[in-house]
Structure formats: C-alpha cells, structure tokens
A and B are shown apart, each in its own frame.
Chain A
C-alpha cells in the first residue's frame, strides 16, 4: 500500500516552479505605491525641486522597485515534492523552507484588490507553528492556487487513510451540547466584588486632561490651587481633629466604594451570562453584556489547564480556570477563560472534560532548590542597597537609604515566599507546577502535548548546580526553576520519551 503510494508520489514529483510572472508586476506596483508616492508627496509638499526633478525621482524609485521585484521573483522557486512543499528564495543568502504535508493544517487563498485585478492570489500554508512564522506564496494564478490546495488535500487524505483506524475519531459523538459551567447574576456580582479596581481614576484623570476646557477654572494652573493651599489649609486645620479623621475615613471609604463598584460594573460587562458548553466540536463559550462573544475551542487544541486565584479569593474558596491554547482570547488575556470564578469541585470536571487529570491524592510535590531564589535575593538586594547608599551619599540625606532598605526587605520577602510557594510534581503523564504568592496558580500540562525541552544554566547555576527546565508549551510558558542538573535531565528524558511516543499530527483529542 505505502509502496504503491510512494511510486505514485515519485511520478508526481514536480520540477521547481516560479510564481506567476504577473505577480512580480503586482509586487513592484505595491512597493512603488508604498515608496514612490510618499516620496513624491514630500517633494511636492516641500516644493524643494522642480517638476522635472520630481518626475525623475519618482521614476528612479519606481525603476529600483521594479528591479528588486524582478530579482526577487527570479530567485524564488517552489517545489511540490513527495513529502513536502519546498520554497527556496534569496538573492545573496539562500533560504530553503520545507513544510511536510502532514503538518499543513489549512491552505488559505487570499485575494487583495490589486492582485485580484490580475487574477492572482496569495496562498498561505498554515502549520500551527508557535512563532509568527508562516509560509506563503505570492502571487499565483487562481488556477495554480486551487491546484496547490488540491495537492495538499490529496496528500493529507492519503496520510490519514493510511492511519490506524480509531485514532482520528472523537471519543464521544453526542451531537447535543451540554452545559458544563454557567454563572448566574449573583455569581457574577460576587465575582465583581473581588475584581476591585481603581482604573476609573486613571480614566477620569485622562478625561480631565482631554476635557479641561469644560472646567470653570484651569486645573493645570498652579495659581488656581494656591488659594486652596493657603486659605484651604487653614480651613482644614480649623475643623478640629475628630472632623479631620472623619474626613479621612470618609475619603478612604469613598475610594473603596468606587473601586468595588467599578469592579462589579466591569465584571458584569465582561462576564454577564457566562456559559460554557461542551458541543460535538469542542468547548463553546458565550459571555458579555454589551459585546457578546461566542467562542469555540476544539478540545484537542487545549494544551494545558491553568487554575488561578488570589490571596483573598482563595480564603473564600474561589478559583478560576483557563485553558492554554494557541488561540488567543482577546489582546490582553493570553489564555482562554473557561470558568473565571468557581469552586474547585466545579472546576475539576471541566479540567477532565479537556482530557486533563487533576493532581491525584498521592501526588509527590517536590520543592525546588532554594539557590536560584537565594542568589536573586543577593544580587538584587546588593544592587538596591548600593543604590540607596549612593543616593544617600549624593544628596546627603538618609531618605534614599531608608527607601533602599525597604526595597531590600521587600525583595527578601518576595523571594522567600516565591520559593516557599513554588513546587512541582511529575505525574505519569502530566507535569504540575504550583507557584505564586499574591496570585497562586497551578498549571497542569500533559507531557505528550509539550513541544520541546530546554535546560538553561546561568554561570552561577553551573557553579552551584542548579538549572531551569523550559518546556515548550503551545500558547503558554512552563518553566521549572531550581532543579539540580541531574534532576533536570531526568525529567527532560521522561518528557521526551512520552513525546516521542505520539506524533504531533496524531495528538489525541
């Protein structure tokens, strides 16, 4: 079977091809529009040169763009081989990229208006690589683009047909969707209480800056405030100690109230009607009051589970669950919120639904070596102490020394607590990492979903035998700090063995 297919593939091996010659015209035109027109605009705008010179300059820029586009076009070839698509390019240096068919997840054909006029398209091969690297061919005729898409599809189908039966099927084929987690208004309001935020003051300050012309006085003029300091101070001093304290308490209370209200409003706007369903295609999440969002995350795309909480909310037993995946959940939140505010018993079923097991009762949590934290404390502490001493000497005042001492104490405390809270566990199939003082979190990553393993040792680490193990996670970060070198190597070996057992294209759902 595979030999017959291989023979067919040999027959189909194509010679290296160039992109469509009209593509070079399009590219030259695009770069000309980008380069020559602004240049002309600048020249006309400053009227530094006569009309003839402007035309000559624009002509020269156009000529250069055409020449570059021509050279680039002649030096780019692509080949559809038996196993991969290869793109070779480069004038002085050569770069050859090879994309195995098995790794191509999608072929998209994109037509912008200018190439469209020429009947051309850009073909992009999506592989799901972690960086911003993608492979595209610009520009091909529509027919050639369609042909490439067909070639990729055929090769991929061939590979999937040959796959052992049962590996591709999703375990449960229930067509109906099932609610996994939902938040009612009470829950959202309670969540809002913990989302205390003073961002409103930043917004107000910004608005004040923009809209100061609306004020009855000039807020940015010092003179307008001096009366308050001169007269107002006396006024405040005159109202008596009790009233002063009352005013202070009132101000703090107002601040807290505003912070809590802001938190509730923001949480309602974001998480109103939060609902997570399990559908045949994956996790479907709906939420939002003004901007409603409806996001689908296929189960096999979940790379790891992240359970996080805060000091205060942990005291009341509230946690949040994120799914780590390559898909980004909005610009500011890198992970996919699956249940932002829930009890632990509510979270574990969700974690299991993503094919991830919670830590078992007998899990052995290992403490890291304190050395990296100790040396961080020493280095940073010495730096801030030195800075404080130098500052104190320079301005002849003890204040910088006090500030330096405060920072040093904070560094020591942060590093000590950071080390105390940091622990990992290596399960049979998963890696657990628990860390964080103010925002404790637990990451659970199936070993089979990891992409690479790197041991990093600083000069101090080589001297004092500690290392960091960076595990490549698609869409997240999983670094184990404070391991002995031998330990790091042992964990890496174990992880690599479980990775080696399953190919990327075959990762279980």
Chain B
C-alpha cells in the first residue's frame, strides 16, 4: 500500500503518544454502547453472548489495532514554505497548505492530549474547501515551534 511518501519527500510520523490518546478517546466513546449491551445481557433480552461477544471483539479491535493503523496512515512534513498533512486509512487525504495562505493558527490541547504532552495544530485558510486543516498528535513543543515557524514565514513574506 502506498504509505503516502510519494512526491519524493519523507513524512514525519506523529508523536508515539498519539496512539494512546486515540485509544483513550475510542475507549471513552465505547462506554455508552458497551453499557447498553451489558444491560441487555444481564436482563437476558438477547440470547447469551450473541451480541456482547461480537461487540467486545469489535471494540477490542477498534481500541487495540485501529489506532496503530491510523497512526501508521498519518504523517506530515514541513518544508520551506508549505505544510503537508497526510491522513486516512480508506480514503487517503494528502493536503498541502502553503504558509503564504495561512490566515491564523490554533494550537489546541484537550485534557487527554495535555495528559500525554500532545497538541493539535490547526491552520486556517480563506478557501471554502479545507478552510481549516488540523494536524493532531504533535508534541507540545513541536506544535509551538511549528506555529512560530509558520508565523515567522508570514512575517518575512510581508516585510
């Protein structure tokens, strides 16, 4: 499978902690359906094990295996004047935003990301398509450094 490293440039992988953050996020999302299925099982609304076993198997795959594959599918590269973000397991998306078109930049950290020292970098453009391109799973310092670099570049271009 094409790992996105076309165009003759290597992609930087995300911070390894991104896998953990995705796992925790998925696990939290899995709580409500799991609770429902467990209640069904306890009340005997469905034949024993017919629903809960496949659901548990699916959730286990989503929590253990899927984040690894998603991590493998993601990557970015920041060369002289552009940021490239690659993502997507089934639908591969390979986005390039030139710094010269960045309107403003966000660095976001949700509680889980903070716990693991990660941050999400979001660049906003004036385009209707891809108005904001977000790059999760960066180390906090990396995200801030990238923000400074993009901002400096904008500054230098307009001076």
Chain A: residues with CB nearer than 8 A to chain B? 2, 83-84, 90, 92-100, 102-103, 127-131, 133, 135, 159, 162-163, 326, 450-459, 462, 470-479, 485, 489, 492-493, 496, 499-500, 502-506
Chain A, residue nearest B101 (CB): A451
B145 close to A (CB within 8 Å): no
Nearest-neighbour CB distance to chain B for A483, whole angstroms, equals 13
* Chain B residues within 8 Å of A128, by CB: 103, 126
Tell which of A98, A127, A504 touches B147, judged by Cβ atoms closer than 8 Å.
Answer: A98
A475–B126 Cα distance when bound, in Å, is 8
Chain A's nearest CB lies how many Å from the CB of B128?
A: 5
Q: Is the interface of B mostly helix, strand, loop or mixed?
A: mixed
Smallest CB gap from B94: residue in A: A455
Residue of A84, A453, A458, A472 touching B91 (CB-CB under 8 A): A458
Interface check B97, CB cutoff 8 A: yes
How many residue-residue contacts, CB under 8 A, span A and B? Answer: 182
6 A-B pairs (CB sep. < 8 Å):
A93-B111, A95-B108, A98-B104, A99-B104, A159-B158, A163-B159
| B93 engages A454 (CB within 8 Å) | yes
Q: Which residue of B lies closest to A326 (CB)?
A: B126
Whether B132 sits at the interface, judged by CB under 8 Å, is yes
Q: Does B106 contact A (CB under 8 A)?
A: yes
Known A472-B129, A500-B98; judge A100-B155 contact (CB<8 A).
yes
B92 at the A/B interface (Cβ < 8 Å)?
yes
Q: Which of B91-139 contact A (CB under 8 A)?
A: 91-98, 100-111, 113-114, 124-133
List the B residue with the shortest CB-CB distance to A163.
B158
Shortest beta-carbon distance from A481 to chain B in Å: 14
Q: In the complex, are the beta carbons of B107 and A477 less than 8 A apart? A: no
Q: Which residue of A lies closest to B90 (CB)?
A: A459
Q: Is B152 an interface residue (CB 8 A)?
A: yes
Which of A95, A450, A456, A478 contacts B93 (CB under 8 A)? A456
3 shortest interchain CB distances as A-B pairs: A472-B127, A451-B127, A131-B131
Please indicate which of the listed interface residues B1, B91, B96, B108 has the most CB atoms of chain A within 10 Å of its own CB: B96
Are B110 and A100 interface neighbours, CB within 8 A? no
Is B15 engaged at the interface, CB distance under 8 Å to the other chain? no
Number of interface residues of B (CB under 8 A): 47
Across the two chains, which residue of chain B brings its CB closest to A477? B129
Q: How far is the CB of B122 from chain A (nearest CB, A)?
A: 9
The contact of B157 among A458, A472, A473, A506, by CB within 8 Å, is A506
Please, which residues of chain A bring their CB within 8 A of the CB of B103?
99, 103, 127-130, 504
Whether A473 contacts B108 in the complex (CB less than 8 A), given A94-B114, A496-B98, comes out as no
A450 to B94, CA, bound (A): 16
Tell me whether B154 and A452 are in contact (CB under 8 A).
no
Once bound together, how far apart are the Cα atoms of A84 and B106, in whole Å? 12
Q: Could you tell me if A505 and B129 are in contact, using CB atoms closer than 8 angstroms? A: no
Residue of A nearest to B95 (CB): A454
Q: Is B6 an interface residue when CB atoms closer than 8 A count as contact? A: yes
| Known A450-B127, A457-B91, A502-B100; 15 more pairs at CB < 8 Å | A90-B109, A95-B106, A97-B105, A99-B103, A103-B102, A127-B104, A129-B132, A130-B130, A131-B124, A455-B92, A470-B129, A472-B127, A474-B126, A485-B2, A489-B6
Task: From known contacts A130-B125, A131-B132, A504-B100, infer whether A95 and B82 are also in contact, taking CB-CB under 8 Å.
Answer: no
Distance in angstroms from A284 CB to nearest chain B CB is: 23
Residues from chain A with Cβ under 8 Å of B159 in the complex: 2, 159, 162-163
Q: Give Cα A52–Cα B6 distance, bound, in whole angstroms.
A: 70
Q: How far is the CA of A454 from the CA of B87 in the complex (A)?
A: 11
B124 to chain A, nearest CB (A): 4
**A477 and B128 within 8 A (CB):** yes
CB distance from A44 to the nearest CB of B (A): 35
Q: How far is the CB of A374 from chain B (nearest CB, A)?
A: 19
Give B58-99 as 1s and 0s: 1 = Cβ < 8 Å from A's Cβ atoms.
000000000000000000000001100000001111111110
Q: Which partner residue on chain A sits nearest B104 by CB separation?
A: A99
Contacts of B91 in A (CB 8 A): 456-459
